Amino acid sequence: GEDVEQSLFLSVREGDSSVINCTYTDSSSTYLYWYKQEPGAGLQLLTYIFSNMDMKQDQRLTVLLNKKDKHLSLRIADTQTGDSAIYFCAEASSGYSTLTFGKGTMLLVSP
């Protein structure tokens, strides 16, 4: 089946930039998403990108997509302690079809 891979853990200092990487295998992926999950909570949609885009920026968040290599990244500028959470990469072949999730990257931001 289709697969989405992420590194499991990232630790950064407050104020630094964080880059979370994700690779996927489905060449028919149309939508790629980043979700944030805080402890004991559901998933919050952070941002998404269509497969015909290379980059999307939304305030402190920048998503880069390399469709050829099937590589997606999320950059968080000026990372804050409140950004500490688990970040999930997900892909779908249409906007509301079945999502395939990565296992999540735990981001720990230290003061």
Q: Which residues bind other proteins (CB under 8 A)?
A: 31, 33, 35, 40-45, 48, 88, 92, 95-96, 98-99, 101-104
Q: Reduce the DSSP state of residue 110 to 3 states and report it.
A: strand
Q: Give least dist CB 101 to other proteins, A.
A: 5
- For the record, the structure tokens of 37 come out as 């999950």
Q: Closer to other proteins at the Cβ: 40 or 111?
A: 40
Q: Which is nearer to other proteins, 104 or 107 (CB)?
A: 104
Euclidean distance between CA atoms 85 and 98, whole angstroms: 24
Measured in residues, the chain has a length of 111
The least distance separating other proteins from the CB of residue 53, rounded to whole angstroms, comes to: 13
**Which residues face 19 on adjacent strands?**
75
Q: Which is nearer to other proteins, 82 or 111 (CB)?
A: 82
Q: Strand, coil or helix: what is 81?
A: helix
